[in-house]
């Protein structure tokens, strides 16, 4: 356990070095969030009765999404990992007395967390000060905060576990390019990062909510915004847990099978 | 004339080198298509739920989306080298270009033509055809020309922004990531007519960066929401944005000191 913890710390501290990048990222995300909310405002004005959530909930969703972008965006791939498989550098990693899956999992977590830690606070604070329906609305109940944090953790682990499946698949396909692009765009839409899932038509939405990607950012942000309550809340958390276990098991199985007869590329 | 011939030669050269990795090329092409297809899906589901936004119907929004997307994609294909200008400066490539007996900006543009962006162009064309067929626009010859003008105006505006990016690299020697707000942001949010974002955004996009001049105002005339004939001339004005960008380039070039690598 200790070795994974120190590995986590190394990656985390390394991630904190990129401060200028974080600053410009923040500017971008702030503009993005504002435009998104202005866009939804136009739709809200067009017909408020067709709006599937309250406007406060939507604004909260958008700001959380921008603040924690680094945690839940599927497209934060680490090209270093892909390359290490393609070039054969992975052989060095395999020599170490640690399990590849665990090490890369910890690494993925650390990279995402360090990015998010640098960026989230200013966005959250500024959006909290914005006028009523356009800013971040905080829930009064302490229980909601606790559940949100639990759900955010599950969602983050789920996304990292999903990334791991894709990294492992490269052991079988060698070229990562195709699968990366395809999977990214599919997961993007299904996780609700293009438009929040409640905006989908009901029949599409029932299917999408059964899929694993709906268990990532969709759940915690909507819990925090007060859009998921009561029995739905428990079901959503259970679904998150289920998909997390499923993804971890699939990933670990793929890893085991790949490493049984590993072919090291390059020379 | 000679320059055009030279550009064609460069273009064919890039095409040939890309065709060396055909599978990779086509996969990237499909990937580009899929990513912007997501944006389309977002628009589609929003419009099926709300039917109209600020008086614009689904087919009108698609028409607007396609014009922005096409302008952006064409600009990105041609001006891609300016977007990655910090690498050209960083690795000393620009010093080599300065030694050649041709306009340096022209040679920079020749150094990279990114054809993988055509995945997006396919989508833009499909949406344009759909928008033209299904919107209730009363097509006159002027309106047909206007669509072309809007796209060309857009290419000029995006080109000018890329040029300004590159000029900043002369001073900072590295790329400024937040400038993406103006290109990727405009592509992302230019899918809807700019007017729907409210007065402040429209003001910025009219007087600061002239997105609205090739997108929103002419689009009002195109869809018959405004009779003001002047609006159809605005895409030409938006092209004037190239002038300050070009002057900035001249200034940057004067100040340029090699990175020494």
pLDDT-derived band at B169 (thresholds 50, 70, 90) equals confident
The Cα A12–Cα A70 span in angstroms is 13
- Where is B259: in which H helix or E strand? none
CA distance A130 to chain B (A): 16
> Residue B206 belongs to what H/E stretch?
none
Residue B117 corresponds to which tokens in the numbers above? 């962006």
CB spacing of A46 vs B28 below 8 angstroms: no
Q: Is the dihedral angle over the CA atoms A73, A78, A83, A89 positive or is it negative?
A: negative
**Which range among A52-61, A74-83, B199-208, B209-218 shows the weakest confidence by mean pLDDT?**
A74-83
Largest CA distance in chain B: 59
CB-based contacts of B97, cutoff 8 Å, min separation 6: B88, B104, B107, B108, B111
All residues of chain B having their beta carbon less than 8 Å from the beta carbon of residue A198 are: none
Provide the pLDDT confidence category of residue B260 given band limits of 50, 70 and 90. low
User: What is the arithmetic mean of pLDDT over A239-267?
Assistant: 87
CA A102 to CA B225: how far, in whole Å? Answer: 60
Tens of pLDDT, residues B52-97: 888 899 999 999 999 999 999 999 888 888 888 888 888 888 888 8
State the smallest CA–CA distance between residue B211 and chain A in angstroms: 15
Determine if residue A131 is left, alpha or beta; phi over 0 gives left, psi from -120 to 50 gives alpha, anything else beta.
beta
pLDDT of A88 reads 81
Chain A residues in contact with B35 by the CB 8 A cut-off are 181, 184-185, 188
pLDDT of residue B174: 67
Report the C-alpha gap between A156 and A261 in whole angstroms.
Answer: 31
A210 backbone dihedrals φ, ψ, rounded to 5°: -80, -25
Instruction: For residues B244 and B164, give the distance between their C-alpha atoms in angstroms, rounded to a whole number.
Output: 9
Whether B150 and B235 have beta carbons less than 8 Å apart is answered as yes
pLDDT band at A266 (very low <50, low <70, confident <90, very high): low
**Residues B197, A43: C-beta atoms closer than 8 Å:** no
Burial of residue A166 (CB within 10 Å: 0-12, 13-18, 19+) is buried
pLDDT confidence band for A12 (50 / 70 / 90): confident
Reading the block at residue B44, the tokens are: 């589609």
Name B52's bridge partners.
B57
Question: Using CA atoms, how far apart are residues B104 and B110, in angstroms rounded to an integer?
Answer: 10
Residue B90 host element (H or E): helix B85-90
Write out the two tokens for A228: 């998921």
Residues above pLDDT 90, as percent of chain A: 44
B27-40 pLDDT tens trace: 888 888 888 899 99
CA distance B251 to A199: 49
| Residue pair A110/A11 in contact by the 8 Å Cβ criterion | yes
Please, what sign has the CA dihedral across residues B104, B108, B111, B114?
A: negative
Other beta carbons within 10 angstroms of residue B32's beta carbon come to 22
Whether A65 has a pLDDT exceeding 90, the answer reads: yes
Contact B170, B255 (CB under 8 A): yes
Task: Give the closest of A38, A39, A50 to B49, CB-based.
Answer: A50
For residue A224, what pLDDT is reported?
92
Computed over every residue of chain B, the mean pLDDT equals 87
Q: How confident is the model at residue A170 (pLDDT cuts 50, 70, 90)?
A: confident
Would you state the pLDDT for residue B261?
A: 55
- The contact set of B with A (CB < 8 A) is 24, 27-28, 30-31, 34-35, 37-39, 41-42, 45-46, 48-54, 176-178, 180-181, 185, 188-189, 192, 196-198, 201
User: A154 near A109, Cβ under 8 Å?
Assistant: no
B152 has a pLDDT exceeding 90: yes
Whether the pLDDT of residue A28 is over 90: the answer is no
Average pLDDT over residues A239-260: 93
Using DSSP's 3-state secondary structure scheme, residue A51 falls into coil
- d(C-alpha A16, C-alpha A9), whole Å: 11
Residue range A100-145, pLDDT digits in tens: 899 999 999 999 999 898 888 889 999 999 988 898 888 888 899 9
Instruction: Give residue for tokens 């599927």.
Output: A74
Mean pLDDT of A225-246: 92
Per residue in B107-123, pLDDT (tens digit) is: 888 888 888 788 888 89
What Cα–Cα distance (Å) separates residue A220 from each residue in A229, B163, B238? 11, 41, 44
The Cα A186–Cα B38 span in angstroms is 8
Among A31, A45, A194, whose Cβ lies nearest the Cβ of B41? A194
Contact flag B180-A42 (C-beta cutoff 8 Å):
no
Sign of CA pseudo-dihedral B27, B28, B30, B31: positive
Q: Average pLDDT for residues B137-165, to the nearest whole number? A: 90
Comparing alpha-carbon positions, the chain B residue that sits nearest to A43 is B53
Query: In chain B, which residue's Cα lies nearest the Cα of A194?
Result: B42
What is the nearest CA distance from B120 to chain A, expressed in angstroms?
A: 14
Question: Taking CA B223 as the corner, what is the angle to CA B44 and CA B46, rounded to the nearest 5 degrees?
Answer: 15
Residues in chain A with CB shorter than 8 Å from the CB of B120 are: none
Choose among B203, B200, B189, B193: nearest CA to B223: B193
Distance CA A43, CA B49 (A): 10
Label residue B226 by pLDDT band (50, 70, 90): confident
Question: Taking residues B46-56, what's their average pLDDT?
Answer: 89
Residue B159's Cβ-side half-sphere holds a number of Cα atoms within 13 Å equal to 23
Which residues of chain A make contact with B22, given a CB cutoff of 8 A? none
Residue that wins the pLDDT comparison between A130 and A262: A130
Going by the DSSP 8-state scheme, the letter that residue A136 receives in this structure is P
**Element containing residue B84 per DSSP (H, E):** none
Round the average pLDDT of chain A to a whole number and report it.
88
CB atoms within 10 A of CB B247: 11
Cβ(A220)–Cβ(A155) under 8 Å? yes
Non-local CB neighbours of B102 within 8 Å, separated by 6+ positions: B3, B6
Residues of A in contact with B53 (CB under 8 A): 42-43, 46
Q: Of B69, B37, B34, whose CA–CA distance to B183 is shortest? A: B69
**Chain A: which residues have CB within 8 Å of chain B?**
21, 24-25, 27-28, 31-32, 35, 38-39, 41-43, 45-47, 50, 52, 175, 177-178, 180-182, 184-186, 188-189, 194-195, 199-201, 204
**A42, A186, A204 ranked by CB distance to B54: nearest:** A42
B54 CB-contact burial (10 Å; exposed 0-12 / middle 13-18 / buried 19+): middle
Task: Kindly list the residues from chain B whose CB atom is less than 8 angstroms away from the CB atom of residue A25.
Answer: 177-178
- CB–CB of B31 and A204 under 8 A? no
Tell me the residue length of chain B.
261
For residue B57, the cross-strand partners are B52
The number of helices, as runs of H, and strands, as runs of E, in chain A is 12, 0
């Amino acid at each position: 356990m200790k070795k994974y913890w120190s590995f986590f710390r190394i990656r985390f501290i390394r991630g904190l070095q990129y401060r200028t990048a974080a600053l410009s990222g923040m500017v971008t995300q702030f503009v993005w969030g504002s435009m998104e909310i202005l866009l939804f405002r136009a739709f809200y004005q067009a017909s408020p009765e067709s709006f599937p959530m309250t406007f406060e909930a939507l604004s909260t969703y958008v700001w959380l999404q921008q603040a924690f972008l680094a945690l839940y965006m599927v497209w934060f791939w680490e090209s270093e990992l892909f390359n290490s498989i393609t070039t054969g550098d992975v052989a060095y990693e395999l020599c170490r007395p640690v399990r590849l899956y665990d090490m890369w999992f910890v690494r993925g977590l650390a990279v995402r967390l360090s990015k998010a830690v640098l960026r989230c606070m200013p966005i959250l604070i500024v959006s909290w000060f914005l006028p009523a329906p356009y800013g971040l609305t905080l829930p009064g109940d302490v229980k909601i905060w606790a559940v949100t944090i639990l759900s955010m953790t599950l969602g983050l682990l789920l996304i990292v576990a999903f990334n791991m499946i894709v990294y492992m698949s490269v052991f079988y396909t060698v070229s990562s390019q195709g699968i990366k692009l395809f999977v990214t765009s599919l997961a993007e839409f299904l996780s609700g990062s293009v438009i929040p899932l409640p905006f989908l038509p009901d029949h599409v939405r029932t299917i999408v909510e059964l899929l694993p990607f709906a268990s990532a950012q969709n759940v915690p942000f909507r819990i925090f915004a007060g859009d998921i309550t009561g029995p739905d809340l428990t079901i959503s958390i259970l679904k998150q847990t289920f998909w997390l276990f499923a993804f971890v098991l699939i990933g670990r199985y793929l890893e085991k099978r790949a490493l049984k007869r590993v072919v090291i590329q390059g020379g | 004339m000679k320059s055009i011939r030279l550009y064609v030669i460069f273009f064919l050269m890039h095409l040939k080198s890309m065709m060396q990795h055909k599978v990779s090329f086509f996969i990237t092409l499909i990937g580009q298509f899929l990513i912007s297809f997501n944006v389309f899906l977002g628009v589609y589901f929003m419009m099926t739920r709300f039917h109209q936004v600020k008086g614009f119907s689904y087919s009108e929004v698609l028409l607007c989306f396609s014009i922005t997307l096409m302008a952006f994609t064409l600009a990105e294909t041609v001006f891609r080298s300016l977007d990655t200008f910090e690498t050209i400066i960083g690795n000393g490539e620009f010093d080599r270009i300065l030694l050649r007996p041709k306009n340096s900006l022209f040679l920079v543009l020749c150094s990279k033509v990114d054809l993988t962006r055509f995945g997006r162009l396919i989508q833009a064309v499909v949406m344009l055809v759909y928008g033209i067929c299904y919107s209730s626009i009363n097509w006159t010859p002027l309106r047909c020309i206007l669509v072309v003008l809007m796209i060309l105006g857009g290419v000029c505006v995006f080109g000018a922004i890329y040029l300004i990016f590159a000029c900043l690299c002369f001073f900072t020697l590295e790329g400024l990531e937040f400038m993406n707000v103006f290109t990727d942001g405009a592509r992302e949010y230019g899918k809807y007519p700019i007017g729907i974002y409210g007065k402040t955004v429209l003001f910025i996009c009219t007087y600061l960066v002239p997105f609205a001049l090739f997108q929103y105002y002419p689009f009002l005339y195109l869809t018959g929401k405004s009779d003001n004939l002047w609006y159809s001339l605005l895409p030409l004005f938006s092209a004037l944005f190239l002038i300050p960008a070009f002057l900035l380039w001249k200034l940057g070039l004067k100040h340029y000191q090699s990175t020494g690598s």
